[in-house]
């Protein structure tokens, strides 16, 4: 499983991205990882996609792995994050690509489809559905409803505190995060029970569930975050208000064909996207948040079936 394509460092959008590629010459397909992950999170999908004839492009997105980590918080807003993908396609000579995202990667893919629709052929997202722009700043709502210790609120109101805790013990933090049975409550409860929050995960030992990967695979993530830290990745969350303020004029309609895969026990709630994503296919797998790592064969099956039915005829 550690036989993952080597990355090459590419200059795009004023930064350097570590980009893993395989299957050159096939249909272009970009894999967008979430927080706190790496392109390596797609290790189970890359061989299957390449075998099916796709040119797989999996970057460590800005702030992660060997990619650049700008100091400015606003360097991680949605315009920079999606702009990296525009510039990457330009550099590779690709007009448009299929995008697959998980967690924060799904947020980027949804927004990329809105901001740069001419570059997105189709969308397959895991965990995080499309949420239209709220009428008010969502950070204030989350603070009121979920409290100051809710991790997104905490990242914004106490910047750097959680990242420093994760940096002190990245192995324990990631070992607690990457588990087959979510330590967080099911999506239906909409919260983090018993005083447990993500920001405390570096300071506790969890016995719920099991590590969803091998020790060798965990070591890949630990080494990357030990070297690069958690501050830059956490800055993605510190742009929710900025993203909200700068997208007021963006039409909230996704026009590309879309596949959505949920985890049954994921803390992220499902959503009715029918008013915003017209061409949508939805599936749910019996797993938690780390869908493509916990259910790789089932994920690959759903993804490849949809790609062959819906995407290949469009190429």
Domain tally, the chain: 1
Whether 244 is covered by a domain: the verdict is: yes
Whether 2 is covered by a domain: the verdict is: no
For 198-235, the pLDDT digits (tens) are 777 877 787 778 899 999 999 999 999 999 999 999 99
pLDDT-derived band at 182, boundaries 50, 70, 90: low
Whether 1 is covered by a domain: the verdict is: no
Task: Give the phi and the psi of residue 165 in degrees, each rounded to 5.
Answer: -65, -45
Stated length of the chain: 315
| Residue 273 Cα distances to 128, 130, 142, 258, angstroms | 11, 6, 21, 11
Of 45-49, 106-110, 161-165, 300-304, least confident by mean pLDDT is 161-165
For 244-291, the pLDDT digits (tens) are 999 999 999 999 999 999 999 998 999 999 999 999 999 999 999 999
- For the residues of 23-55, what is the DSSP string, one character each? STTSEEEEEE--TT--GGGGTTTHHHHHHTTEE
Terminal Cα distance for the chain, rounded: 30
CATH code of residue 244:
3.40.50.1820
pLDDT at 189 (0 to 100)? 37
* pLDDT, averaged across the chain: 93
Catalytic residue set: 103, 289
Instruction: Residue 309: give the domain boundaries.
Output: 7-314
Tokens of 149: 């210790």
| Residue 178 Cα distances to 35, 44, 100, 243, 285, angstroms | 11, 15, 20, 28, 17
Q: Higher-confidence residue: 66 or 183?
A: 66
SS3 113: helix
Q: Which helix (H) or strand (E) holds 79?
A: helix 78-92
């Amino acid at each position: 499983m550690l036989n993952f394509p080597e990355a090459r460092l590419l200059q795009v959008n004023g930064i350097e991205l570590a980009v893993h590629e395989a299957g050159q010459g096939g249909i272009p397909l970009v894999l967008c990882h979430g927080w706190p992950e790496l392109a390596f999170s797609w290790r189970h999908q890359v061989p299957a996609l390449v075998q099916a004839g796709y040119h797989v492009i999996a970057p460590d997105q800005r702030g992660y792995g060997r990619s650049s980590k700008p100091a400015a918080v606003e360097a991680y807003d949605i315009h920079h994050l999606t702009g990296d993908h525009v510039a990457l396609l330009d550099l590779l000579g690709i007009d448009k690509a299929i995008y697959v995202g998980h967690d924060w990667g799904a947020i980027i893919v949804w927004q990329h489809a809105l901001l740069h629709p001419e570059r997105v052929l189709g969308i397959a997202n895991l965990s995080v559905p499309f949420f239209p722009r709220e009428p008010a700043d969502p950070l204030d709502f989350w603070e009121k409803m979920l409290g100051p210790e809710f991790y997104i609120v905490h990242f914004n109101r106490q910047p750097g505190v959680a990242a420093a805790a994760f940096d002190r013990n990245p192995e324990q933090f990631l070992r607690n995060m990457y588990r087959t049975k979510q330590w967080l409550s099911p999506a239906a409860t909409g919260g983090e029970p018993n005083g447990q929050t993500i920001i405390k995960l570096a300071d506790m030992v969890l016995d719920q569930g099991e590590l969803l990967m091998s020790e060798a695979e965990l070591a890949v993530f630990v080494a990357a975050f030990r070297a690069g830290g958690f501050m830059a990745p956490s800055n993605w969350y510190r742009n929710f208000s900025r993203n909200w303020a700068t997208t007021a004029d963006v039409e909230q309609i996704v026009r590309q064909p879309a596949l959505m895969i949920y985890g049954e026990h994921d803390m992220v709630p499902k959503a009715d996207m029918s008013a915003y994503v017209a061409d949508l296919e939805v599936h749910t797998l019996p797993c938690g948040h780390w869908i493509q790592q916990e259910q790789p064969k089932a994920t690959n099956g759903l993804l490849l079936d949809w790609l062959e039915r819906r995407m290949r005829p469009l190429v």
